[in-house]
Chain A
Amino acid sequence: MNPTAAAQLNSLLAALILLTAFALVVQRRMNALLHIFAWQGFLLAVSTAIVGFVGGAHHLYISSFLTLGIKVILLPYILHLLIHKLKIRKEVDSVINVPTTMMIGIILVIYSYHLTAPIRELSTLVTRSTIAVALATFMLGFLMMITRKHAVAQIIGFLAMENGLLFAATSATYGMPLVVELGVALDLLIAAFIFGMFFFHISTTFDSLDVDQMARLKEED
């Protein structure tokens, strides 16, 4: 595969990742949300592998496998089990309605392009054009965490942010050093264990996973 073809393929994957990021922000149904999240992880894994192949950065294969194992198979599976067990089907409303969220999302994408302009100028890698998309994915995950009131949706937003970060690391620098990537994956696994426990605690204590009910702690007058 020659570099230009790889760069074009990577741009296509980046566009698809951005699409899934938008889909995550607006999707209301839990099951669909999980599927989109798994697809995003899959696209990310493929993109990482391609960059690893073209750039000759072979440690990216490991990173790609980790993404595939954790983000595409393990986490969606665990979340699926939890959703099934806690009987969650449709999600409660989000704070802002869909069209407004989309508008904010578009503004975030444009802003990401603006913010990453100096990086694109300095970078010499074939993947440099996708850095903005990576930052946009990160910010859209952030937006999702802010606008959703459901604990599971917030966690998916959090994981989407993590996807954006990995994508940024791959496209800006051919990935972080291997030891850092492994550590991040380890932290992610522990985090998965913790939010799994949390879902049980929250749903048994509050009878639902709507985080709006958690508003007891505030400054009283």
Chain B
Amino acid sequence: MYLLILLVIPLAASLILAIIGDRKYAPEVNIACSAVSCGASIVLGLQVYEQGPFLAWDNFFFVDAFSIYLSVLTAFVSMTTAIFSRRYMRREREHGTIGHRRMRFYHAMYQLFIFAMLLCLLTNNVGILWIAMELATLSTVLLVSLYRTPTSIEAAWKYFILCGVGISLALFGTVLLYFAAEKVLGPGGAALHWTNLAKVSSQLEPTILSLAFVFLVVGYGTKVGLVPMHNWLPDAHSEGPTPISAVLSGLLLNIALYALVRCKVLVDGSTGTHHSGNIMMGFGILSIMVASFSILRQKDIKRMFAYSSIEHMGIATFAFGLGGPVATFGALMHMLMHSLTKSAIFFTVGHASQMHRTQEMDKIRGLIRGNPLVGWGLALGCMAIVGMPPFGVFTSEFLILTATIKDAPLMAPFLLLGLTVTFAALFRKVQHMVAGEAPAYQIKLKAAHVPVVLHMALVLVLGLYLPKFLSGWFQAAVGVLK
């Protein structure tokens, strides 16, 4: 029941917002709808926590610990981003960067994007998972080019083409998966249901599934932003409006990784080897290394944090590839922490670039003096994202590192090197921006407090104390992904 509410609300909100357009209360409607879906997701989460995973609607929907924790996260971050976007977009609107038709488009597409992501998480059908993923790409393509500048159109085109090709490779992988499943389960929609596939995964033909996994990892990996398929990601993040960067980085990458991990479970069940895990570990380490050294060279603040997202998705992919209870637990927690921290960082970055009317880091100065919330938010967010102790990212990275030293000691130096380089690079750059005198060209603005404070507080609290229901979800998810 709540599942249906959770899916219908964003879809209906998308229509409503398309109708009401750029009225004064449109941002509030956007927030209200996101808040309702967030509430529905929490109720659904409690239900799953108490009663365990369940199927709904003729086995079409499936909720377990893995998908519900990501659904709650998605609904929550989309709500806080809606709150942030109210102030942020109003300012863009006042500056005449975008007109009222594009505001209408922005709100409608935002909710459609949320719907697509939730559908990805809640559907039981691997084919529908693919369709929803494509829908999530399509709904954000034109948001990336919302400002209609030459660079933003270029970024959006790259995003469209690269993710389009990537995702069609994933569809080929899905076709192969269906081909193998049909032999065991018979033709029809039920042969693509994840719950059915997981039951019979040991009977699926291993040669076909290993071939399918290659297509799936390249396809969904493109959307996760794994190197070398990552080219679209820094461009799309830096050229789109900041609320979109926040949800792309904080949510969409997670969803793509979710799809990949779901498929990996099936492939592992079929082949009985660690082949797919090794592939993911390779992509993960490569992403960490390339992204950490790329951060050093960045001049644009949003691009820099986009590379940081690639690095963190690399860490999570690596940990899922490594497997085992500790690493998987760490990876699940890392997805949560990264998503909360990175979207908080993007909120402050958005305000910082509005204050200086540029995204160039050389020109952003004296943020703490200019606007304490933005300055401290960025400084603390940066400390959290590089893995400083009191914050949650530290806990998850520590777990992953421990598991690496135990299970794959040869990889540990690379992981540590990547983390160290990122640490040094981010700190050096962020310190210049937050400290010092505020320059004369800095503009005063009212920042959106609630989302930043809420996210950072959560990251801090979860770093110190993991509530029982959350660790229960994670442990149940580890059981699913075994």
Q: Knowing A177-B188, A178-B189, A180-B128 touch, does A119 contact B208 (C-beta < 8 A)?
A: yes
Chain A 137-169, CB-CB to B under 8 Å as 1, else 0, gives: 010001001000001001000100110010011
Asked, given contacts A183-B128, A194-B160, whether A162 binds B168 with beta carbons under 8 Å apart, the answer is yes
**CB-CB < 8 A to A135: which residues of B?**
172
Q: At the interface with chain A, which of B29-37, B179-187, B338-346, B366-374?
A: B179-187
Q: Is A57 an interface residue (CB 8 A)?
A: yes
Total count of chain B residues near the partner, CB < 8 A: 50
B465-479 interface mask toward A, CB cutoff 8 Å, 1 = contact, 0 = none?
000000000000000
Contact segment of B135-143, B240-248, B400-408, B422-430: B135-143
- Among the stretches B150-158, B324-332, B390-398, the one at the interface with A is B150-158
Query: Which residues of the other chain, A, contact B138 by a CB distance below 8 angstroms?
Result: 187, 190-191, 194
Tell whether A32 is near chain B: CB-to-CB under 8 Å. Answer: no
B183-A122 in contact (CB<8A) = yes
Known A179-B127, A180-B192, A198-B160; contact A118-B172, beta-carbon cutoff 8 A: no
1/0 contact string of B289-320 vs chain A (CB within 8 Å):
00000100101000000000000000000000
A205 touching B153, Cβ below 8 Å: yes
Contact B208 A122 (CB under 8 A): yes
**CB nearest to B167 among chain A residues:** A187
Per-residue interface assignment for chain A, residues 192 to 205, with 1 indicating a CB less than 8 Å from any chain B CB and 0 otherwise: 00110110011001
Interface string of A178-221 (1 = CB under 8 A from B): 11100110110011001101100110011000010011110111
Which of B174, B175, B299 has the most chain A CB atoms closer than 10 A to its own CB?
A: B175
Is A16's beta carbon under 8 Å from chain B?
no
Q: Is the CB of A205 within 8 A of B189?
A: no
B161 close to A201 (CB less than 8 A): no
Pick the residue among B150, B171, B207 that contacts A165 (CB under 8 A).
B171
Residues of A within 8 A of B211 (CB): 115, 118-119
Whether A173 contacts B297 by the Cβ 8 Å rule is no
Distance from A208 Cβ to chain B, minimum over Cβ atoms (Å): 13
In the complex, how many angstroms separate the beta carbon of B361 from the nearest chain A beta carbon? Answer: 13
The reply to whether B135 and A190 form a contact with Cβ atoms under 8 Å apart is yes
Within the complex, the shortest CB–CB distance from A209 to chain B, in Å, comes to 10
Q: Quick one: which of A184, A214, A220 contacts B153, CB cutoff 8 A?
A: A214
CB B393 to nearest CB in A, in angstroms, measures 26
**Alpha-carbon distance between A123 and B192 when the two chains are bound, in angstroms:** 18
Instruction: Determine the distance from Cα of A205 to Cα of B156 in the docked complex, in whole angstroms.
Output: 13
The answer to whether the Cβ of B145 comes within 8 Å of any Cβ in the partner chain is yes
Whether A184 pairs with B171 at a CB distance below 8 angstroms is: yes
CB contacts under 8 Å to B, within A17-40, are none
Determine which of B127, B172, B239 lies in contact with A177 in the assembled complex, contact meaning CB atoms within 8 Å.
Answer: B127
The answer on a CB contact under 8 Å between A57 and B187 is: yes
Given A145-B161, A165-B168, A221-B297, are A179 and B125 also a contact pair (CB < 8 Å)? yes
Cβ-based interface call for B176 (8 A): yes
Residues of B near A176 (CB, < 8 A) are 127, 174-175, 178, 192
Which of chain B's residues have a CB closer than 8 A to the CB of A174? 187
Flag if A151 contacts B157 (CB, 8 Å). Answer: yes
Q: Per a CB cutoff under 8 Å, which of A172, A187, A195, A205 touches B179?
A: A172
Determine the residue in chain B with the shortest Cβ distance to A55.
B187
The complex places the Cα of A74 from the Cα of B22 at a distance, in Å, of 32
Supposing A187-B138, A191-B164 touch, asked if A220 and B179 sit within 8 A by C-beta, the answer is no
Interface residues on chain A, size class: 35 or more
- Would you list which residues of chain A between 54 and 80 have a CB under 8 Å from chain B? 57
Inter-chain contacts of B189 with A (CB < 8 A): 177-180
Residues B127 and A187 in contact, CB atoms below 8 Å apart: no
Which of the residues B135, B178, B188 comes within 8 Å of A187, measured between beta carbons? Answer: B135
A16 to chain B, nearest CB (A): 22
A215-B231 Cα distance, complex, nearest whole Å: 13
A219 touches B156 (CB 8 A): no
Report yes or no: A172 in contact with B175, Cβ–Cβ below 8 A: yes
User: A186 touching B131 by the CB < 8 A rule?
Assistant: yes
- CB neighbours (8 Å) of B127 from chain A are 176-177, 179-180, 183
Most B Cβ at <10 Å: residue of A115, A118, A135, A186: A118
- Is the beta-carbon distance between B156 and A198 smaller than 8 angstroms? yes
CB of B480 within 8 Å of the partner chain: no
For B182, give the chain A residue with the smallest CB separation: A173
Residues of A within 8 A of B142 (CB): 194, 197
Chain B contacts for A184, CB-based, 8 A? 131, 171
Residue B268 at the A interface, CB < 8 A? no
Q: Are A220 and B299 in contact (CB under 8 A)?
A: yes
Picked from A177, A186, A201, the residue with its CB within 8 Å of the CB of B145 is A201
Nearest CB on A from B196, distance (A): 12
Chain A contacts for B145, CB-based, 8 A: 198, 201
Contacts of A118 in B (CB 8 A): 205, 207-208, 211
Contact with A along B404-424 (1 / 0, CB 8 A): 000000000000000000000
**Closest CB in chain A relative to B99 CB, distance in Å:** 15
Q: A138: which of B131, B172, B299 is its contact (CB, 8 Å)?
A: B172
Minimum distance in angstroms from A113 CB to a CB of chain B: 14
A122, closest chain B residue (CB): B205
Contact A165 B172, beta carbon cutoff 8 Å? yes
Cα-based distance from A109 to B233 in the complex (angstroms): 32
Residues of B within 8 Å of A145, CB to CB, are 161, 165
A173 touches B187 (CB 8 A): yes
**Nearest CB in chain B: distance from A129 CB, A:** 15
Q: Which residues from chain A contact B155 at a C-beta distance below 8 Å?
A: 217
Please state if B131 and A195 are interface contacts (CB–CB under 8 Å): no
Cα–Cα, bound, A191→B125 (Å) = 22
B64 on interface, CB distance cutoff 8 Å: no
Q: Which A residues lie within 8 Å of B188 (CB)?
A: 177
Give the 9 A-B residue pairs with the shortest CB-CB distance, closest first. Answer: A180-B127, A183-B131, A177-B189, A214-B154, A187-B134, A118-B207, A172-B179, A217-B235, A169-B175
Q: Provide 5 A-B residue pairs closer than 8 Å at the C-beta atoms, listed in order of the A residue.
A: A119-B208, A151-B157, A173-B175, A176-B192, A219-B297
Given contacts A138-B168, A180-B125, A201-B148, 13 further A-B contacts (CB under 8 A): A119-B211, A158-B161, A158-B168, A173-B175, A173-B178, A173-B179, A179-B189, A186-B131, A194-B138, A194-B141, A195-B160, A217-B238, A219-B294
Interface residues of B (CB under 8 A from A): 125, 127-128, 130-131, 134-135, 138, 141-142, 145, 148-151, 153-158, 160-161, 164-165, 168, 171-172, 174-176, 178-179, 182-183, 187-189, 191-192, 205, 207-208, 211, 235, 238-239, 294, 297, 299
